[in-house]
Structure 1
Amino acid sequence: MKKIAVLLLAVWQLHAEEIYATFDVKAEKSASLAFSSSGIVGEMKVDIGSEVKKDALLAALQNDDIKAMVEVSKVALKYAESDYERQKKVKQHINVSLFESYAYKYDHAKVQLKYQEALLDKTYLRAPFDGIITAKHSEVGDVVSGQMITKVYDIQSIKERKLILKFDQKYHEKVKVGDRFTYKVDGDDTLYTGTIYKIYPTIESSTRKMLAEVKAEGFPVGLFGDGYITVK
């Protein structure tokens, strides 16, 4: 059995081909964060280098006026509901159109509260995923615009990385998802291995290179290196 395994390995190596590729290290997840609403920045909760969990509060606009409108809407809903329930008890004794007017006011009050709560929620900026803050673009007191997309923070995944491989387009039919990539990072003699999990469907027109991705972990974003893709 051992002899057969060795023979199969030798045959596979005989038919394998190594294709040279360079790569850049990117974060697996990255995003530029901005408010979807306009206003004045009231709070900045984190700074560059802060590690945050998904949905953690990062910043907030001045929103006392919207908070007040939420409370007003809650009061309006409370009384609209009370009127509706009272009229529902005597529904058979009153005009249908009159009862429907109370039902309308009740439904309208519910919708108005949801609308004001949605406006309030837009004044808060939260983390879209677990990550680390890599840049800060605003300060307390800055005016931001939801229409102009004013960036507040940049965030990227903490450890998860991806290698963006570039290799000659003439190999576009040979390189497949699942192929092994053996590589070194610039300035490090350690030999690493990974597996191609994504191949881009287009070719870079300026360089005539194909792109592919390999998952990695722990490398600083911005590093580069090279290696060889082993294809059958």
Structure 2
Amino acid sequence: MSNPSRTGHKPLALGLIVVAAALVAAGVLSRRSQAEQVKEASTPVVPTVSILAATQITGAPLELSARIEPWQRAPIYARVSGYLKSWSVDIGAQVKNGQTLADIETPDLDQQLLQAKAELATSRSNLTLATSTAKRWQGLLQADAVSHQEADEKAGDLAAKQSAVSAMQANVDRVQALQRYTRLVAPFDGVITARNTDVGALINVGGAPGSELFVVSDISRLRVYVNVPQRQVAAIKVGDKAELSVPERPGKVFTATVQSLSQSINASSGAMLVQLTVQNDSRELLPGGYASIHFDAPLASAALSIPPSALIFNKAGTQVATLGKDNRVVVKPITVGRDLGNVVEVASGIDRNDQVIANPPDGVSTGDQVKVAAANANNNAKAKL
């Protein structure tokens, strides 16, 4: 007969062996999984990038910002002191050459004129007396009743009185000339673009900016000033036509003509000032505003363009990442020319053979390994075929 206790212990022992084996297998699998994860974490991740070729922009139009100024602009200052008696034109009014803008009341100047005239009358009376005295002494000299010295003294006194009369007359003329400035007039046909005074205001003589009483501007024709970069100045010449547009007239284009060039490059901006003129008979263009100038003149030399997403900005300046040998990155510094909206002009730093990384990863540097996207790889293979 078999031992019942031994028979009952066999299933239990087999169960324990199975459990132990399962635990050992789970531990082995867990360690293998952890080892694989550590191995994957220690393996550097190679980023996948897209590449593109720099596009040549030959004969692209030149679009620049400009400012508009009136053809003539005259700030009207006070030439005499007093109080504003009246004004007859306000901002926006059309004026003609010589038209009265305002009148200044000058009580002090009026008294100066009265004083000058009184002094002139006194001088003339002294001159009359000196004239008769000199003639009398000349008669006495011929009769040998007086000496030559005394007669010369009277003649000298007459000359002095004549000079005094001339000086007093000049003073009267000066005050009368100043009185003509009590009436402010327009120096040319134009529009009143500023009025900085009112009736009863104290008027002082001055010519400092901001102290003008009126500003008259001729806006029938306008001057347009634009700074042309040095690389494009050779393509601009006097007589060239350009298209002008302003934000307040969307869709409308005005024709401007190059009037003159400064013939000098500004050291701070690296550009040359160019003056254009544009007719403004309809008064649609406003002086003092900003405008956009579109030149059809081609660039002086062929340039390359890339999308803004390819640019890298850091402490080293503006750079781009290019694809080198063995799919390793080569970072190159570049000089950006103009911002053309969806692309930027590259003045220097890359050439047409460079493969530019379209969206470079953060912190990318020269020598980093990258993987080219499948679409780019297929395109490169087709290009080689």
Contact 1:183 1:228 in 2 (8 A): no
Residue 259 of structure 2 corresponds to residue 216 of structure 1: no
Answer with 107-116 or 93-102: which moved more. 93-102
Q: 1:192 to 1:140 in 2, by over 3 A?
A: closer
Deviation string 1:106-136 (CA, Å, 9 cap, x unpaired) is 1122111122123323444332322111121
| Aligned counterpart in structure 1 of residue 107 of structure 2, from 35, 40, 64 | 64
Deviation at 1:104, TM superposition (A): 2.1
Given residue 98 of structure 1, which amino acid in structure 2 is its aligned partner?
Answer: D
| Aligned counterpart in structure 2 of residue 118 of structure 1, from 161, 170, 177 | 177
Given residue 151 of structure 1, which amino acid in structure 2 is its aligned partner?
Answer: E
Contact 2:85 2:104 in 1 (8 A): yes
Could you tell me how far apart the structure 2 residues matched to 1:203 and 1:101 are?
A: 61
Q: 1:167 to 1:98 in 2, by over 3 A?
A: closer
Deviation at 1:173, TM superposition (A): 3.5
Contact 1:22 1:165 in 2 (8 A): yes
Deviation at 1:164, TM superposition (A): 1.8
Contact 1:132 1:155 in 2 (8 A): yes
Residue of structure 1 in register with 2:293 after alignment:
226
**Structure 1 residues not aligned, in runs of 5+:** 1-15
Deviation string 1:184-211 (CA, Å, 9 cap, x unpaired) is 4443434443321121344456654432
* TM-score in terms of structure 2 length: 0.48
Residue of structure 2 in register with 1:40 after alignment:
83
Q: 1:50 to 1:89 in 2, by over 3 A?
A: farther
Residue of structure 1 in register with 2:64 after alignment:
21
Residue of structure 2 in register with 1:3 after alignment:
none
Contact 1:35 1:124 in 2 (8 A): no
Residue 218 of structure 2 corresponds to residue 157 of structure 1: yes
Deviation at 1:35, TM superposition (A): 1.1
Given residue 36 of structure 1, which amino acid in structure 2 is its aligned partner?
Answer: R
Given residue 176 of structure 2, which amino acid in structure 1 is its aligned partner?
Answer: E
Contact 1:41 1:62 in 2 (8 A): yes
Contact 2:81 2:106 in 1 (8 A): no
Could you tell me how far apart the structure 1 residues matched to 2:203 and 2:273 are?
A: 37
Deviation string 1:150-172 (CA, Å, 9 cap, x unpaired) is 22122211412122223323223
Residue 195 of structure 2 corresponds to residue 136 of structure 1: yes
Could you tell me how far apart the structure 1 residues matched to 2:259 and 2:207 are?
A: 36
Identity across matched positions, percent: 20
Residue of structure 1 in register with 2:311 after alignment:
none
| Higher Rg of the two aligned structures | 2
Contact 1:57 1:126 in 2 (8 A): yes
Q: 1:89 to 1:195 in 2, by over 3 A?
A: farther
Given residue 84 of structure 2, which amino acid in structure 1 is its aligned partner?
Answer: V
Given residue 220 of structure 1, which amino acid in structure 2 is its aligned partner?
Answer: L
Q: 1:61 to 1:101 in 2, by over 3 A?
A: same
Write out aligned runs for 1:44-193 (5 A): 44-74=87-117, 76-77=119-120, 80-81=123-124, 84=127, 91-94=134-137, 95-147=154-206, 149=208, 150-186=211-247, 187-193=249-255
| Aligned counterpart in structure 1 of residue 258 of structure 2, from 180, 196, 199 | 196
Which structure has the higher relative contact order (CA within 8 Å, separation 6+)?
1
Q: 1:198 to 1:164 in 2, by over 3 A?
A: same
Secondary structure of 1:173's partner? helix
* TM-score in terms of structure 1 length: 0.74
What is the aligned length? 217
Given residue 214 of structure 1, which amino acid in structure 2 is its aligned partner?
Answer: L
**Structure 2 residues not aligned, in runs of 5+:** 1-58, 138-153, 301-385
Deviation at 1:139, TM superposition (A): 1.2
Contact 1:21 1:229 in 2 (8 A): no
Deviation string 1:84-117 (CA, Å, 9 cap, x unpaired) is 4786577543420231232123112211112212
